[in-house]
């Protein structure tokens, strides 16, 4: 099961996300849920880095199964970064509806930016 935590700020903006686990929806290398979630997360992070002024801190496991991205407080309200994050959350949420046994998403109000 992939567990996705979306960190909501008090302002309503997204402060970051964490994805943990494996979907187990198919053989390694052929798991469409894992592949799709990974592509959405990596695409979002690369787009934030390339197309926005937002800074972030990233932590990932070398062997996969874990990615945590937290926007830096001074750039958390960057409009373009928020649009990219909201787009990723929408896509992952729709996938979670289709694959509830492989993917869960939850929203957590984040009071601070501690890791």
Nearest to 41 by CA among 28, 27, 60: 60
Task: Please tell me the pTM assigned to this model.
Answer: 0.92
How high is the pLDDT of residue 115? 44
- Please write the tens of the pLDDT for every residue from 100-115: 999 999 999 976 654 4
Q: List residues with catalytic annotation.
A: 22, 34
Determine the pLDDT at residue 64: 86
Q: Is 66 a domain residue? A: yes
CATH number at residue 96: 3.30.70.1490
Q: What is the pLDDT of residues 63-112, one digit of tens each?
A: 889 999 999 999 999 999 999 999 999 999 999 999 999 999 999 997 66
Q: Tell me if 115 is assigned to some domain.
A: no
Q: Is residue 32 part of a domain?
A: yes
Count of structural domains, the chain: 1
Query: What would the pLDDT profile of 12-25 be if each residue is shown by its tens digit?
Result: 999 999 999 999 99
Owning domain of residue 104: 2-109
């Amino acid at each position: 099961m992939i567990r996705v935590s979306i960190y909501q700020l008090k302002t309503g903006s997204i402060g970051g996300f964490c994805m943990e686990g494996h979907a187990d929806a198919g053989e390694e290398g052929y798991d469409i849920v894992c592949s799709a979630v990974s592509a959405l997360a990596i695409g979002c992070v690369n787009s934030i880095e390339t197309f926005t002024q937002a800074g972030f801190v990233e932590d990932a496991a070398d062997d996969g199964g874990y990615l945590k991205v937290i926007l830096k407080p001074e750039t958390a309200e960057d409009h373009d970064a928020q649009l990219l994050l909201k787009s990723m959350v929408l896509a992952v949420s729709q996938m979670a509806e289709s694959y509830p046994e492989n993917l869960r998403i939850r929203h957590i109000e984040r009071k601070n930016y501690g890791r």
